[in-house]
Amino acid sequence: MGASQNLFFLLLISCYIFTLVAAQDESGFVGTVDPKLLKKKVTTSHFRFYWQDIVGGSNATSIPILPPLPKFNNSFSAFGLVRIIDNALTLTPNLTSKLLGRAQGIYAATSQTELDFLMIQNFALFEGKYNGSVITILGRNVANNKVRELPVIGGSGVFRYAKGYAEASTISFDPLTGDTVVEYNVYVTHQK
């Protein structure tokens, strides 16, 4: 066999092996996505919600599942505090205004020196074509900053393949009860 025949034989074997490996991937747990499932048209939407964090009383929507660490219990940081939430998302800052959805998830105090939270939440919406769809937000929230930016990391329903960001601004905080109203402006790119 000449050099060109050896090269041809090696290329033929390489193509066979590549085809065999590709076929194994397709028949296993991973495969390609049907392009028809991926809509090409996308839009960017702006949503405004008022996040109602009710931490006390018989109608609390934010429940501590871990208290602050003893060393930080009386400090400003609340380091170690973890709360699970099912907060109302309303049309206006008034708790009795129209309910648009629920913010469900957890937040945890993650700084020893400032009021800084890791926010993990799903905005489950109830209104119109968004009913049953979810926007997922995960990020850092420094509570004393006037405006905090958190990433939109995905979603479901209308928000499948979503990306974007949310800006959070505290509207009111009651130091006696701990109840807080936060305005969320969510800018999300999603399929039409």
171 falls within a domain: yes
Cα–Cα dist 130/102, whole Å: 13
* Backbone torsions φ then ψ of 7, nearest 5 degrees: -65, -45
Cα–Cα dist 169/46, whole Å: 15
187 falls within a domain: yes
Question: Sorting pLDDT into bands at 50, 70 and 90, what band is 118?
Answer: very high
Query: Domain with 71 in it: what CATH number?
Result: 2.40.480.10
The whole-number pLDDT of residue 30 equals 77
Handedness of CA 168, 150, 91, 56 (dihedral sign): negative
The whole-number pLDDT of residue 78 equals 87
11 falls within a domain: no
180 falls within a domain: yes
78 falls within a domain: yes
94 falls within a domain: yes
Is it the case that residue 103 has pLDDT exceeding 60?
yes
The whole-number pLDDT of residue 23 equals 47
CA 178 to chain CA mean position, Å: 24
Q: Are 134 and 156 in contact (CB under 8 A)?
A: yes
Output 16 or 184, whichever has higher pLDDT: 184
186 falls within a domain: yes
- Number of structural domains the chain divides into: 1
The whole-number pLDDT of residue 29 equals 73
The whole-number pLDDT of residue 25 equals 54
pLDDT in tens, 9-64: 555 455 544 444 444 455 567 777 777 666 568 899 999 999 999 998 889 999 99
Is it the case that residue 1 has pLDDT exceeding 60?
no
pLDDT in tens, 122-179: 999 999 999 999 999 999 999 999 999 999 999 999 999 899 999 999 999 998 999 9
* Per-residue CA distances from 36 to 33, 130, 162 (Å): 8, 22, 18
Question: Sorting pLDDT into bands at 50, 70 and 90, what band is 68?
Answer: confident
pTM (2 decimals)? 0.80
130 falls within a domain: yes
Q: 143 is in which domain, residue-wise?
A: 41-191
